[in-house]
Structure 1
Amino acid sequence: HISYAWRRRWCILRAGLLCFYEDEGLREKKGEVLLDPLARCVAFQAPRAPGDSCKHLSERPFGFAISLDREDGGRPLVYYFDAGEPPLLKRWLLALAQAIRVAPALARD
């Protein structure tokens, strides 16, 4: 099930993996994003932000997107997040860039 509504989530970022949870207690995992070395993390305000980033910019000026290429060459899979304020956006972008840099390369056929 894919939800298109904005919901508050709590995230844990590790090398190559971003997990998000229902609440601060981290009891219910709502999903995860596997960050391979080709993943892109871009602020909505960036000129070439992926997917529907530009549609979210006015409502979520401190949002960012994580774009993942599909193995079948189809349209990239894009996840949208809102950092809420400029310092947090900067921290998220830097942390995600680091997590992507150290992500293990996924084996491709």
Structure 2
Amino acid sequence: MEPKEETWELRLYVAGQTPKSVTAISNLKKYCEEHLKGRYQLEVIDLLKHPQLAEGDQILAIPTLVRKVPEPIRKIIGDLSNQERVLVGLDIKPLEPKI
């Protein structure tokens, strides 16, 4: 029996619809679909609407991506345009081709 794939829980903190925020959301969705298809939950939190949520994950800059699961928690700050840095930062390993 194959081990069950863990569902990744990702949280992206943004502040409104700034160009950086929009780019970060777009890049993250693309990476998730390429590397975690069907195995991730993505929550986008707009700190203009919910500023109190920044404290829980100690958000100091935006956009910030937080990987809650799998542990350990990891954070990446910026618009996520450097795919290699994002994948390494999140510790995403390319999916093995199924034979």
Query: TM over 0.5: same fold?
Result: no
More strand by share: 1
TM-score (ref. length: structure 1): 0.29
More helix by share: 2
Q: Which of the pair has the greater relative contact order for Cα pairs under 8 Å at 6+ separation?
A: 2
TM-score (ref. length: structure 2): 0.31
